[in-house]
Amino acid sequence: MAPAVADGGAKPTIVLVHGAFADGSSWNGVIERLERRGYTVMAPANPLRGLYSDSTYIASVLKSIKGPIVLAGHSYGGAVISTAAEGNSQVKSLVYISALMPDVGESGMSLGARFPSALGSATESVPYSAGGGVSGTDLYLKRDKVHSVFAACLPESQANLLGVTQRPAATTAFSETAKVAAWKTIPSWALVGRQDMTINPEQERFEAERAHSHTVEINSCHVSLIAHPDAVADLIVQAAGAAATAAQPGRPALASSGSAGHDREVTGLGGIAGAALISGTAAVFLSRRLGRRTH
C-alpha cells in the first residue's frame, strides 16, 4: 500500500472505518463529498474477526499515512478506532457515528447488556472454519430484520441489497474487552441517532458524554450515512478543521473534546447522521448466542 499524503501537509487525511455486516463502500457518498472539499480519504476494509486483530490491522494502515489523520468509525468501527489510534500522535481527531466507544475493560457485549437494543432479535449465529484449526462463530443479520432494525431510513429495496451483500462479524468482535481508549486523550466528535434501533441512543449519549465529545443528535436510523451523506461529511469536516488547526506550527492544539452537556447541537433529519452499515451492539445478545447455532 502506497503511503497516503495529506494535501499539502495542511489538510489531514481522513480514514473511515466501517462497522459489522458492512464494507468500505457504505462510505461512498461521504467519500465523494470529502474529496470534493479537497481531502485525501481512505476507507480500508475492517476484517471483522475480533477487536484485537481488527484494531491491529487498522493501526498498521494508519502507519502508512504521512501527516495528520482524522479517524472516523461507524458502529463497531468505533471500538476499532478507539484502540487503533492509541499511541499514534498523527491521529488528531476521532469521529464516532452511531458507534461503540468502550472504556478499558468494556466490550460491545457489556455495553449492549447495559443498554439493550432491537439488535438482539435481528441476528443469527453460524459456526465457521478458516482452516489450520481456526474456527469460531459468525453473526449474520436476519434478512427480514435488515430494513426494520438497521436501515429503516432507506427504501426497502436498498435495505435488501445491504442484507444480500453483508459481511459477517465474528462474535469475538463484540466479546473482546478494550485494553485502551484513545478517546480519553484525543478530541472526539460523536453522532447520536435518535431512531437508531441497532445501538440504543441512550448508549450513544452515555458514551459521548463521558468522552466529552462534541455531540450532535439527529432524527435518523443506524445507517444514515447512506441516507444523509452531506450531513455526515459536514461533521467529519468539523473534526478535520480542528485537526488542521492543531497541526499548524505555533497554533495551540485543541485542549479537550467538547463537553456533551454544553456543545450538543440538535439538528433535524437533514443534519449529521450515522454511517457505514451496522454494528457492534450485537453485544446485547452474544451472551445468549455464543457457542449456539441458530437458523
What are the two backbone dihedrals, phi and then psi, of residue 3, each rounded to the nearest 5 degrees?
-60, 140
- DSSP state for residue 66 in the 8-state scheme: B
User: pTM for this structure?
Assistant: 0.84
pLDDT digits (tens, 9 = 90+) for 230-242: 889 999 999 999 9
Q: Which three cell numbers, joined as nine digits, stand for 165? A: 451483500
Q: What is the pLDDT of residue 247?
A: 65
Q: Is 119 helix (H, G, I), strand (E, B) or coil?
A: helix
Q: What is the pLDDT of residue 243?
A: 86
Residues contacting 197, CB < 8 A, separation 6+: 117, 118, 119, 148, 149, 150, 152, 221, 222
Contact 190, 207 (CB under 8 A): yes
pLDDT digits (tens, 9 = 90+) for 27-56: 999 999 999 999 999 999 999 999 999 999
Exposure string of 38-56, with b = 16+ CB inside 10 Å and e = fewer, is: ebbbbbbebbbbbbeebbe
Q: What is the pLDDT of residue 255?
A: 36
Confidence bin at 248 (pLDDT 50/70/90):
low
Q: How many CA atoms lie within 13 A of 145 on its CB side?
A: 16
Count other Cβ atoms within 10 Å, centred on residue 268: 9
Residues contacting 138, CB < 8 A, separation 6+: 125, 126, 127, 128, 168, 169, 170, 171
Does the pLDDT value for residue 170 go beyond 60? yes
pLDDT digits (tens, 9 = 90+) for 67-121: 999 999 999 999 999 999 999 999 999 999 999 999 999 999 999 999 999 998 9
Return the H-helix or E-strand segment holding 158: helix 156-164
Confidence bin at 273 (pLDDT 50/70/90):
very low
More confident residue, 1 or 186: 186
Place of cell 445501538: 199
Closest C-alpha to 256, from 203, 198, 186, 192 = 186
